[in-house]
A and B are shown apart, each in its own frame.
Chain A
């Protein structure tokens, strides 16, 4: 072999070697890997990422919803235990900031025990409906539920109006104008409201309609300030969101550092074969709609019709979007105007909860039926028949136990610190 020939062969060899290494590199970095997703799948991933959540739109029914003074007042009210029957209960008793605004209990406990489980309030301002059954159509009207519930705050409307006049007069008047003169106890008893307590109820029914009206307005405004505070409690970006950003940027190496292979496999199941995305969709992992998922009925519980029973409540509620205490025009009340009022789907249906931070907010479901995510996933696999109503689920026959564990691993990637100014996550420092 001549020198020239040998050089030629070496050259070819070198070229082949370089090509080989290059293609190996390409294979490793762009070829099939657990982190490569089709364009359609990427669109689905993007739709779930926090990036695609628009800024919180204003609540037309709450004119002070984005007023910083209302946020400050609401912050104080949220933590103020004077707004209760025994001086010991505030919203934060059950919605504890350090527990992602939940309480860790199956059923909430304050003055008594509630029939349902405490959901988080993080990002709830995006939802058109409040409570598991959606019996309130605004966050400010929602506050009236716990405030008047005999087992939660246990107080009543005139009591709360008097407390505002006593402790928050200036803050209130700066936002809402003059408080009514509540000084005549014959017209404004210390304890009156349409509540379970017979004495307070009788006192309320004895009040003049215009005095009731005046108290209702204070009650509505109190709720609007609390809602302004809650509107600042939002979801922060979780590992899942960083993963999606890496995938969309084509950076598989970065993606691989964020979620482990089990979590990625779980994500693939979540948007595919396990069908979770049918209901837990969008950047908050909820469609804010009501579904019957055939949860086990808890021995001794009264029959809970869920959404079906809530529909007439929200329609008749004087504090709804179309009512006299709402700041919205009828055009702004589309959710209420076009609300689904009938259909077999409403029986036993409850609101799809967000799955953000779900790994940190056990127990689960509207009565805390399940203690662990593993139990939740077994339920989805088996999809038992519902009572009452019909379950929308069908059994996940093709999903193995190992895959359920992957789904669970994925749910752990949705945990993130609350996105809110640090001072809003603790009781306000200064008492009035």
Chain B
């Protein structure tokens, strides 16, 4: 059966060639499973405007927007914090402190950021922010207003 032979030879040649081509190089290294936190390349990067977060006891809603967009490591930059009550009233005259760090690495922020200015309408300027590593960071934003204190915990990935 000449027809079959021709076909078979053609197919074999094609397969062989394909096989040889691939063999010259090793397969890619397996992606290590670092539980998602340690691979710089894993995890979606957060947008500059983080979603609003309600504080632990439900007193405030904090929305943080980085003035460095897109977010990047190793650059000193500021954020705008918007604070309101759960029913949408801007919180004015608040005292705000910020700390945080990388939960997976057990270290804090590389700087001591401070709220330096109240901008009105529930907005505050936070200066001196920096992230020194890729991965998941936590920001703990403690708001004191009208004698009440509550902390909102924001998460972001760089």
A and B pair up: yes
Q: Is the CB of B29 within 8 A of A340?
A: no
Q: Is the CB of B18 within 8 A of A20?
A: yes
Residues of A within 8 A of B111 (CB): 338-340
Residues of A within 8 A of B134 (CB): 44, 277-278, 281
Tell me if B95 is interfacial: C-beta within 8 Å of chain A.
no
Tell me if B89 is interfacial: C-beta within 8 Å of chain A.
no
Q: Is the CB of A343 within 8 A of B114?
A: no
Interface size, chain B (Cβ < 8 Å): 50
Q: Which residue of B lies closest to A334 (CB)?
A: B76
CB distance from B108 to the nearest CB of A (A): 5
Tell me if A181 is interfacial: C-beta within 8 Å of chain B.
no
- Of the listed stretches A9-17, A211-219, A411-419, A423-431, chain B binds A9-17
CB distance from A179 to the nearest CB of B (A): 36
Residues of A within 8 A of B13 (CB): 17, 20
- Of the listed stretches B37-45, B57-65, B145-153, chain A binds B37-45
Tell me if A268 is interfacial: C-beta within 8 Å of chain B.
yes
Tell me if A86 is interfacial: C-beta within 8 Å of chain B.
no
- Of the listed stretches B19-27, B48-56, B80-88, B117-125, chain A binds B19-27
Tell me if B73 is interfacial: C-beta within 8 Å of chain A.
yes
Tell me if A114 is interfacial: C-beta within 8 Å of chain B.
no
Q: Which residue of B lies closest to A403 (CB)?
A: B29
A16 to B105, CA, bound (A): 55
A9 to B7, CA, bound (A): 8
Residues of B within 8 A of A34 (CB): 25-26, 28-29
Tell me if A170 is interfacial: C-beta within 8 Å of chain B.
no
Interface size, chain A (Cβ < 8 Å): 56
Q: Is the CB of B73 within 8 A of A20?
A: no
Q: Is the CB of B41 within 8 A of A21?
A: no
B99-129, CB under 8 A of A: which get 1 and which 0? 0000001111111111000000000000110
Q: Is the CB of A24 within 8 A of B18?
A: yes
Q: Which residue of B lies closest to A45 (CB)?
A: B41
Q: Which residue of B lies closest to A335 (CB)?
A: B76
Residues of B within 8 A of A281 (CB): 40, 73-74, 133-134
Residues of A within 8 A of B106 (CB): 392
Residue B17 contacts which of A24, A288, A335, A343 (CB distance < 8 angstroms)?
A24
Q: Which residue of B lies closest to A264 (CB)?
A: B29
Q: Is the CB of A278 within 8 A of B105?
A: yes
Tell me if A395 is interfacial: C-beta within 8 Å of chain B.
no
Residues of B within 8 A of A24 (CB): 14, 17-22
Tell me if B97 is interfacial: C-beta within 8 Å of chain A.
no
A30 to B127, CA, bound (A): 46
CB distance from B31 to the nearest CB of A (A): 7
- Of the listed stretches A35-43, A316-324, A358-366, chain B binds A35-43
In chain A, residues 315-363, which have Cβ atoms closer than 8 Å to a Cβ of chain B?
Answer: 334-335, 337-341, 343, 345
Residue B24 contacts which of A13, A16, A17, A28 (CB distance < 8 angstroms)?
A28
Highest count of chain A CB atoms <10 Å: which of B21, B22, B24: B21
Tell me if A378 is interfacial: C-beta within 8 Å of chain B.
no
CB distance from A254 to the nearest CB of B (A): 15
In chain A, residues 290-318, which have Cβ atoms closer than 8 Å to a Cβ of chain B?
Answer: 290
Q: A24-B20, A41-B41 are in contact. Are A32 and B3 (CB under 8 A)?
A: no
Residues of B within 8 A of A6 (CB): 2
Residue A20 contacts which of B6, B15, B26, B34 (CB distance < 8 angstroms)?
B15
CB distance from B146 to the nearest CB of A (A): 28
A sample of 21 inter-chain contacts (CB < 8 A) reads A20-B10, A24-B14, A27-B18, A33-B25, A34-B29, A128-B76, A272-B41, A275-B38, A277-B134, A278-B133, A281-B73, A281-B134, A282-B73, A287-B132, A334-B127, A337-B127, A338-B111, A338-B127, A340-B111, A343-B107, A398-B32
The chain A residues found within 8 Å of chain B, CB to CB, are 1, 5-6, 9-10, 12-13, 16-17, 19-21, 23-25, 27-28, 31-36, 38, 40-41, 43-44, 128, 261, 265, 268, 271-273, 275, 277-279, 281-282, 287-290, 334-335, 337-341, 343, 345, 392, 398
- Give the top 4 A-B pairs by smallest Cβ distance, nearest first: A20-B14, A338-B128, A28-B21, A273-B32
